[in-house]
Structure 1
Amino acid sequence: MIRSFLDNAITKIKKQEFVLDKEIPIKYLFNLSFEKFLMLVRGFFNWNLLHKGRFFLIGKRCVLKCVSKISVGNGVLIERNCYIDGLSMNGIILGDYTSIGMNTTIICSGTFKNIGKGLKVGHGVGLGTHGFFGCAGGVEIGNNTIFGNFVSLHSENHNFSNTNELIKNQGVNRKGIVIGENCWIGSKATILDGVIMENGVIIAAGAVVKEGVYKENGIYGGVPAKFLKTRNND
């Protein structure tokens, strides 16, 4: 009975048919359901986000800072041990049914002298566990893009040309990162400032993606990431 209930509930939430694997033990499903219920309650009562008029789930030991700059869509899931700081010009926007994996850090400003731009995430996006999202230069992520675990984004760079001055005192430059819709970013990939990733791009695990335009439906990998081939229906 609980399996059927969960199938129907998840189908309604995701707005597409969903059937749980029959090999999942009932006790596991019951414990998982109870955990998600507690996350829903936590999301409803905490972080002063009630005025958003949305329902979302928050795991244990999450830290949300500058919540007035965080906008949460329907069905957003924030797993345990996440640190999210919305301090920035444009804040953080999390689209409907976005999920943020456990132990993920999102920081939008690296300095109080010049706060950053922020993060905009589309609908149905999955951010893997242990991610780092540095959004000072601005990060945009399109609908239905998915990230592997331990992915990091860095949307600003230190200036370093003056050898007579400490690097830390030379300030930063920012170009921002734009990632399109329906992309797949592999585990432990690093995405640097100035990247423009068009729709349908795949980045191989461990790749370092430097400034440039990455064409639609292209597959890229390596250090630095280079074009490997184009996705096709074969």
Structure 2
Amino acid sequence: MASPVTPGAEDRLRRWLIRRAGELRGRPLAIDERIPVGTLGSLVLERAAMAARGLARFPTRSPRPFVGRGVRLRAKHRLLFGRGVTFGHGSLVDATSVHGVTLGNGVTVGRNTRIECTGSVATLGAGLAVGDGTGLGTDSLYGCAGGITIGRDTIVGNYVSFHSEDHVFASRELPIRDQGVTHQGIEVGDGCWIGSRVTVLDGARIGDGCVIAAGAVVVAGDYPPYGVYGGVPARLLRERSR
């Protein structure tokens, strides 16, 4: 019968796994000590598999991303990324656009998230640019026809949607689908937190350090820095304290 792992050996293994996980991710990780060693080992193996997929998808490029299972990447020549970028399982990135998709160092595209840069073949879309350290949550949609810019170190929650395109409906005589679209673009600053199930519409400009409450609808207009906004449509609830 095999002898159990001693506490000292388990501690050394834990430290090694945490160090290896940080190396694979490209930055140090804070990991709760209560997480079992076996779980850490599984995470490291999963990360290594994602690194291998990145090598297979981008054999001649460096740095290479971490690529999850079932990831679809279209117009890869228009896709630029820094170190430690992750494409979560089942995500889609279609970079077909004027400016393509640029993802800074450490950007994470969450599971099942879709980035679509062109909404119609009639008009080539603008694209997406995301700053270092930003996380794009799971099960989200980024419609980048009019262009989306998101700053550094911003958190985007799950089930969030961005729509940088708006339909014209001025005429009652013509079907809305025949009246064309407008593109103002969307801007999100540095260090923001966009809550779960938020909808951000074309023309919204969210300043640095803003918090958008879960379920809010952010319409066209300016949202000054360091405000907490919520509601439908989103309005200022309070300013963040210093």
TMscore range, shorter length: over 0.9
Determine the C-alpha separation between the residues in 1 that align with 2:71 and 2:13: 29
Of residues 96, 100, 119, the one that matches 1:110 is 119
**Length-normalised TM-score, structure 2:** 0.91
Of residues 144, 164, 170, the one that matches 1:161 is 170
Determine the C-alpha separation between the residues in 1 that align with 2:193 and 2:24: 23
Q: What residue is the counterpart of 1:122 in the other structure? A: 131
**Sequence identity (%):** 39
Q: What residue is the counterpart of 2:3 in the other structure? A: none
- Matched residue type, 1:2: L
Q: Residues 3 and 20 of structure 1 are in contact (CA less than 8 Å); yes or no, is this contact kept in structure 2? A: no
Of residues 212, 235, 242, the one that matches 1:226 is 235
Determine the C-alpha separation between the residues in 2 that align with 1:158 and 1:44: 41
Q: What residue is the counterpart of 1:210 in the other structure? A: 219
Determine the C-alpha separation between the residues in 1 that align with 2:79 and 2:202: 23
Structure 1 outlier segments of 4+, above 6 Å: 13-16
Q: Does residue 45 of structure 1 match 2:56?
A: yes
Of residues 88, 97, 113, the one that matches 2:106 is 97
Q: Residues 75 and 97 of structure 1 are in contact (CA less than 8 Å); yes or no, is this contact kept in structure 2? A: yes
Q: Which moved more, 1:91-100 or 1:17-26?
A: 17-26
Alignment of 1:163-202 (within 5 A): 163-202=172-211
- Are residues 56 and 14 of structure 1, via their aligned partners in 2, closer, same or farther at CA, if it must alter by over 3 Å? closer
Determine the C-alpha separation between the residues in 1 that align with 2:209 and 2:21: 26
- Matched residue type, 2:191: N
CA RMSD of superposed structures (Å): 1.5
Deviations 1:61-115 (A, max 9, x none): 0111111111121100111000110000000001000011101000000111111
**SS in structure 1 of the partner of residue 73 of structure 2:** strand
CA apart distance, 1:203: 0.2
Determine the C-alpha separation between the residues in 1 that align with 2:98 and 2:184: 15
CA apart distance, 1:6: 3.2
Q: Which moved more, 1:165-174 or 1:196-205?
A: 165-174
Determine the C-alpha separation between the residues in 2 that align with 1:69 and 1:11: 28
Mark the runs of 5 or more structure 2 residues left unpaired by the alignment.
1-11
Determine the C-alpha separation between the residues in 1 that align with 2:128 and 2:213: 23
Mark the runs of 5 or more structure 1 residues left unpaired by the alignment.
none
Q: Residues 52 and 71 of structure 1 are in contact (CA less than 8 Å); yes or no, is this contact kept in structure 2? A: no
- Matched residue type, 1:222: G
**Length-normalised TM-score, structure 1:** 0.94
